[in-house]
Amino acid sequence: MIDNGLSDGFARGLNALVFEGGGCKVDHVYEFYIDQLSQDRWKSRLKYYGWCVLSGDQDVDHDYNAIERWANTGVPVFFMTKDVWSLPIKIKAATILLAWSGLIKNSSKSGLYVIRKNAVVEPLVFKPPKPSRPRAASQTRVRLAAEQAVPIAHQRSMRFD
């Protein structure tokens, strides 16, 4: 299944090359869920149908919540790295076709994977953000007071007429 981050024409083109050649069928999410389900609802149905996803989601390289949502689907999901995204559409499609055996190899294992520019499929490695340490209330008050204070040298030169 191709998600809504990639065009349905892209899905049809891949299907013509892969399925017509005796491989697996490539469908676009719009073929099943046009305006019927929210994004999270269709993602929840992926495992039930046994689909794999080739995603156009570009938030996965910086948004931990996006990664968590995809990981919770329980199906194999393949993302393209930024260098693959930046390729012209024909080269991008050729890269995916070259990586197709890696997609098939990992399609039976739930997980998140990336497709690199050299057509290598690897597990997605993402470190969750470190939780920010909250400031103590006293530190915040001192900082705000310091920002609002007018230096004494400036107070003397101020005229109040």
Q: What is the pLDDT along the chain (161 residues), one digit of tens a residue?
A: 788 788 888 888 888 888 776 778 888 887 766 555 566 677 777 777 788 899 888 888 788 888 888 888 889 999 999 899 899 989 999 999 999 999 989 988 889 999 999 999 999 987 766 777 665 555 555 555 555 554 544 444 444 44
Which residue range(s) make up the domain with 58? 8-123
Residue 148 has what pLDDT?
54
Token pair in block for residue 134: 């909250």
Residue 1 belongs to a domain: no
Residue 147 belongs to a domain: no
Residue 15 belongs to a domain: yes
| C-alpha separations of 144 from 34, 137, 150, 161 in Å | 51, 11, 12, 28
Please check whether residue 46 is in contact with residue 34, taking contact to mean a CB–CB distance below 8 angstroms.
Answer: no
Task: Name, in order, each residue with C-beta under 8 angstroms of 61's C-beta and a sequence gap of 6 or more.
Answer: 81, 82, 126
Residue 134 belongs to a domain: no
Looking up tokens 């007429």 gives 161
pTM of the model: 0.72
Residue 16 has what pLDDT?
86
For the chain, the helix, strand and coil percentages under 3-state DSSP, each to the nearest 5: 45, 10, 40
Residue 38 has what pLDDT?
61
Nearest partner of 27 among 56, 60, 3, judged by Cα: 3
> Could you give the number of structural domains in the chain?
1
Residue 65 belongs to a domain: yes
How far is 71 from 151, CA to CA, in rounded Å? 53
